Structure 1
Amino acid sequence: MKILLVGEYSRLHNSLKEGLILLNHDVTIVATKDGFKNYDVDLPIHKKYTKGFLKKFKNIIYRLTKIDLESLQIKKQIIKLKPKISDFDIVQFINEASFGCTASIEKDIFDLISTWNKKVFLLSCGADYISIKYAHDGKPRYSILTPYLNGKHQFLSNYGLKFLQQDFIELHNHIYQSIEGVIASDLDYHLPLKNHPKYLGLIPNPINTEELEFKKLKIEDKIVIFHGINSHSYYKKGSDIFEEALSIINRKYSDKIKVVTVRSLPYNEYIKSYNEAHIMLDQVYAFDQGFNALEAMAMGKVVFTGAEKEWLDYYNLIDDAVAINALPDAERIANKLEWLITNPEKIIDISINARQFVETYHNHKYVAEQYLKTWQKHL
């Protein structure tokens, strides 16, 4: 089959493409490069107004006219690509707003690509209307909106609140009327979608375990704790809570640990930067693991991330066996770190279990097979 993957977050579509190619399918990705992360894209969409004078000019024009120059030039690029992004059997959009445009331009792009191709599917991956409304209504115990609701407003746009605006609600409704169905990439998107008539089920994030080498951890001197900060998502990921927990643990065990902190690295640099780590601090406000956590787990790191009871039940796991649930509480995170520091054999055990878990449930070829089965039901 010919498959077009539209948009890219956290390398999800790249890993899915690699799995689909192993199954002898023809796959193309059209996307922007996801900011500083700079993932590979077959047909890159370039953003022109991201910094300096052009960014200021774009903002002035938008304030005066409500015309977004970036969105318009992205739409022009899509139209020019028509010969290369037409006549595919399957199209999958990674999000309701796959290109970060205004709602009206996202609708135009969605309609163009849908018209040029056959069956269209959607991923619930990253913020979208249903997941943000679910969080805003206070249905989960905590969510990516928790820091916002607690007054932590560093980058307001990063919380996905635009999806609650009327124009994005209309975009959501339009897309859902047109697609064959929507697939959740993990439990944080599965729970809001349960019982929705367009919901096709949860398919776990695909991880290319062949490219991520597992190295059995050795603890010969200090335990290395890695904290990778995305400056734009500092509060949303709970980095402030991790830093508070590290401060607590450093006061007690500075002679036994080494803390490595990096900020906003491109993907290839980022994944190399935690090679020597034993423990990785990923994110707080999640019930399941995202891409960064899963890739680190595949490499045998002990990851503090979303590993809530709902996730344990879904995969029939026990607490602290595969990953450490990072609750929004610095003292409790510090206590878990202390448990690992004083019981280093647990680090080795969890490391092995983490790799086995990713190989079992997230292997990119296995996940690609699940996507194919879901898509083929609608051909």
Structure 2
Amino acid sequence: MRILLVGEYSRLHNSLKEGLQKLGHKVIIVSSGDDFKNFESDLSVKATFFSSFWFTRKLRNGLRRFFKFDFEKIERAIRFYLILPKLKGFDHVQLINSDALELNPTISLFFYKKLFSQNKKFSLLVCGDETPVIEYLLKNEMKHSILSPYLNDSSLKNQYNFSLKYVQSNYKKVFNWLKENVNSIIVSDLDYKIPMEKMNYKVNFIPNPINTDKINFSELKINEKVIIFLGINRLSFIKKGIHFFEETLKIIEEKYDDKVEIIITENIPYQQYISLYNKAHIILDQVYAYDQGYNALEAMAKGKVVFTGAEQEFVDYYKLTERVAINALPDVNELVKELSFLIENPQEIIRIGKNARDFIEKEHNYVKIAEKYLEVWEN
């Protein structure tokens, strides 16, 4: 099959591509690389003019304030328009999101109609914010979610512009068109499966693909200090509950000054991020989640102990009898308690790290996951 994957937010599509290629398929990724993360793309629509130089970034910000429009989106639109003639004759096209092109919704819909007219079958992947997901989370019926801070404090609305845009009429129009024109909707973890099903959508649940051939497992060795890593992305700072981790680390540093080393980074490219967290034993990922996102899964594949979503729904779905990750709650006292236990019982860090790798190999192997995608696409 010839397969086109549109958009990239977490390296999900790159890992899926590698699995599909292992199975003998030809795969092309079109994306912007997701800003500072710079994920790989075969055909890039990255707005290089408005993002590469300090003076063009200043120009972009000035034009946005004056015209109330993001000129980086215009550049992306032009770049996609220029490559659109190449994007034809594919057996399957998958969008990573209804805003996979990161454009004005009207322009995105125009391009989707063109793209769909020149290819065969289509799927929409829900692996992040999406119209029905946000609609359900706004009902505030879940124990917690990425919207919890906003639902508890409406003054944070500006911090949630990215998420809340999906319930605006123009974005909803795009999603509604896609749901009527794709052959399948796929969700990547329980944080999206639960809301989509609550909103009465029939979805195909396929866990995130992790390239276990590329990511080597190394059994954790703890010598003098337990190394804890926190990677901060300011764009998702509130949604991931990072301030809970920051407060926790202050307490842990004071309590275990001679037993821990703490590494904190902020808004760095993906490859640099990975190289810095490789020496860590414990990764602090996010609170508010029920299941693991992509960064957490890659860390688990390396045998790290990850503080992330691992709610009872997750344990029940996978029928787990051993801990493969630490369920991180939006509660500093609980986080301190969990970290303290691990620091004082380093053999538990090693045991959970092994469990994490075993879990990834069983449930997230990229070739097995690629086979599941093919099954959904073909049937």
Compute the TM-score of the two structures, normalised by the length of structure 1: 0.94
Write the distance in 2 (CA, Å) between the matches of 1:116 and 1:293. Answer: 37
State TM-score, norm by structure 2.
0.94
Structure 1 residue 173 and structure 2 residue 181: aligned?
A: no
| Inter-partner Cα distance in structure 1 for 2:252 and 2:378 | 51
Take 1:329 and 1:341, find their aligned partners in 2: how far apart are those partners? Answer: 18
How many residue pairs get aligned? The number is 373
TM superposition shift of 1:119: 0.6
1:225-236 equivalences under 5 Å are 225-236=228-239
Residue by residue over 1:328-376, the C-alpha shift from the partner in whole angstroms, topping out at 9 and shown as x without a partner, is 1111011000111111111111000000100111111010000000101
1:55 aligned counterpart, secondary structure = helix
Does the Cα contact within 8 Å between 1:120 and 1:180 map onto a contact in 2? yes
Corresponding position of 1:92: 94
Q: Is the 8 A contact 1:158 1:233 kept in 2?
A: no
- Aligned partner of 1:5 in structure 2 is 5
The secondary structure found in structure 1 opposite 2:115 is helix
User: Which residue number corresponds to residue 239 of structure 1?
Assistant: 242
The answer for the alignment partner of 1:21 in structure 2 is 21
**CA RMSD in angstroms, aligned pairs only:** 1.7
1:288 paired residue number = 291
Amino acid at match of 2:192: Y
Q: Indicate the SS of the match to 1:160.
A: helix
Give CA-to-partner distance per residue, 1:292-340, whole Å, 9 cap, x none: 0000000010000000111001101146x10000001111011000111
Summarize the alignment of residues 37-48 of structure 1 with structure 2, pairs less than 5 Å apart.
37-47=37-47, 48=49
Q: Match for residue 33 of structure 1? A: 33
Distance 2:353 2:360 in 1: 11
Deviation digits for residues 229-275 of structure 1 (CA, Å, limit 9, x no counterpart): 11221111111000111112222211111111111111111111111
Quote how far apart the aligned CAs of 1:192 are: 1.2
* Conserved 8 A contact 1:58-1:70: no
Q: Could you say which residue in structure 2 is the equivalent of 1:76?
A: 78
Q: Percent identity?
A: 45
Answer yes or no: is the 8 Å Cα contact 1:16–1:206 preserved in 2: yes
Deviation, structure 1 residue 115: 1.2
1:58 aligns with: 63
3-state DSSP class of the match of 2:203?
Answer: strand
Alignment partner of 1:110 is 2:100: no
Give the letter aligned to residue 20 of structure 1: L
State whether residues 184 and 204 of structure 2, in contact with CA within 8 Å, keep that contact through their aligned partners in structure 1.
Answer: no
8 Å CA contact 2:60, 2:70 repeated in 1? no
**Which residue is equivalent to 1:207?**
210
Describe the shift of the 1:196–1:22 C-alpha distance in structure 2 as closer, same or farther (beyond 3 A).
Answer: farther
Q: Distance in 2 between matches of 1:277 and 1:155?
A: 34
Equivalent pair of 1:180/1:198 in contact (CA under 8 Å): no
Deviates more, 1:47-56 or 1:168-177: 47-56
| Alignment partners' CA distance in 1, 2:264 and 2:70 | 36
Extract unaligned runs of 5+ from structure 1.
Answer: none
* SS at 1:30 equivalent: strand
